[in-house]
Homo-oligomer: A and B are copies of this chain.
């Protein structure tokens, strides 16, 4: 729906260069920036405010399902990994390693003191299975201690060669849940329960439609028996894995010696799970909801849901307008949206209203309200919904409303914007899933030919081992991967796209971040 009358707020469009557009949104919405430290970003107030909202809402959901928060050490002794490395094929080794504990001055410069070498190197946690497993082995003695349901909010480090803000950074912020159970069934219930918490969080809070399903065996977390994910489609058609939940079987329990005495007095190994989401989700929010004017933040995670901009002129009348706006702010704050007080900012910083308006458009505040002297006299406000930016004539679509009407409707408007963002994203996602491609030539034609190809839904016989490897190789040539097997779908009628055997389930195939 491009309209040549409109002059968009960003100077690069999604259409022209999606990757450059993504970076532009992050910069122009003032969310984050490069830090000068390799692979690490600085998360600025607007980006961090979104993360704080994500934390708050998701933490409530994690606690409501019976988990408790703990904090475990940042550093993990190298020896803790030894058993895991032995036990786990594909154990990732790109980690930051602390080897010394002191600096010293030498010829006027600062150097690492070679005499302060650690006896045992310390790894900066890439994830905490090992150190939490050790704690679990102390904490679990009897069946009465199970299930043990732990969560941690923390920074983790994985030495990434190619980084991209929010999507893949050497250091990132996340939550990692770790649980221990008496048997497979209980651990599987937990694994799927947390997958559902993530699905519901992504869809209801981030307004980001996702497919919740199981990853193929070649995409499992190393050492996991089963890995589940939520997969979201970005506006360039690529998939983003936005959260994972793993059933780890008894392998990690064996490595960390997590055993319990069962009700018959017998020693048994625990079955463990782990699950996590990270600041990567913010990258997903940008690429699902952003437009050519910048970010659009779903109201439930917007640090400010409504921004009020008074038109100030450094004159005597300013105090009166500020007072009028402050009353609007206070009244709005008394209303609830999504069962929480509405979050309102009265932005009275110096600067021109037009400049400030476009700053907030680029940041994606859901509702912008402007108030000038005449509006005040007439008891009106000018309201711009971020999901309805433009009129046909290329002007921002401000609606002049009676102040009291707006006050009455604002919370409902926020809920409507939340729904609209979800519906728009879902429609786009659904339109870009092809279920009518029946052979590999068709697949090749689609992915080679289409400008922004989406996902292809395929009947699947669930081959394993070498047969799966062959499929994976074939897909790789098209830069494709199997995303996941959606949960709760009927068994397809068609034969398996790849093996020709009877299908047992469906898979989604696509390009990904």
Contact = CB atoms under 8 A, between A and B. Distances in A.
A36 B144 contact: no
A478 interface: no
A109 B121 contact: no
A171 B48 contact: no
A144 B97 contact: no
Contact of A48 (B70, B98, B100, B351): B70
Number of copies: 2
A35 B135 contact: yes
A131 interface: yes
A9 B43 CA distance: 47
Given A35-B73, A37-B131, A70-B42, A103 B112 contact: no
A69 B96 contact: no
Interface in A316-352: 350-351
A49 interface: yes
Contacts of A40: 73-75
B73 A44 contact: no
Contacts of A52: 69
A35 B103 contact: no
Interface stretch (A77-85, A366-374, A500-508): A77-85
Given A100-B97, A122-B37, A131-B37, A85 B73 contact: no
Interface in A401-439: none
A48 B175 CA distance: 15
Contact of A171 (B75, B100, B144): B75
A96 B74 CA distance: 11
A107 interface: no
Contact of A94 (B37, B49, B81, B101): B101
Contact of A93 (B68, B94, B104): B104
B71 A48 contact: yes
A105 B85 CA distance: 8
A473 interface: no
Instruction: Give the top 8 A-B pairs by smallest Cβ distance, nearest first.
Output: A40-B73, A45-B68, A43-B71, A101-B159, A37-B73, A93-B103, A97-B100, A96-B98
Contacts of A100: 96-97, 99, 121
A112 B85 contact: no
A48 B154 CA distance: 13
A53 B366 CA distance: 30
B131 A73 contact: no
Given A42-B72, A42-B135, A110-B81, A97 B103 contact: yes
Contact of A131 (B35, B78, B95, B351): B35
Contacts of A103: 78, 81, 85, 93, 95, 97, 123
Given A96-B122, A97-B98, A103-B78, A144 B350 contact: yes
Q: Which of A36, A77, A155 has the most CB of B within 10 A?
A: A36
Given A35-B131, A69-B48, A144-B350, A99 B112 contact: yes
A135 B45 CA distance: 13
A113 interface: yes
Contact of A74 (B70, B72, B155): B155
A246 B127 CA distance: 35
Contacts of A44: 70
Contacts of A76: 37
Contacts of A72: 35, 42
A180 interface: no
Contacts of A113: 93
Nearest to A124: B98
Nearest to A99: B99
A102 interface: yes
A52 B154 CA distance: 13
Interface in A244-303: none
Contacts of A74: 40, 124, 155, 157, 171
A443 interface: no
16 contacts: A37-B76, A42-B135, A43-B71, A45-B68, A48-B71, A52-B69, A71-B173, A74-B124, A78-B112, A81-B103, A85-B105, A93-B103, A95-B101, A95-B102, A102-B159, A154-B155
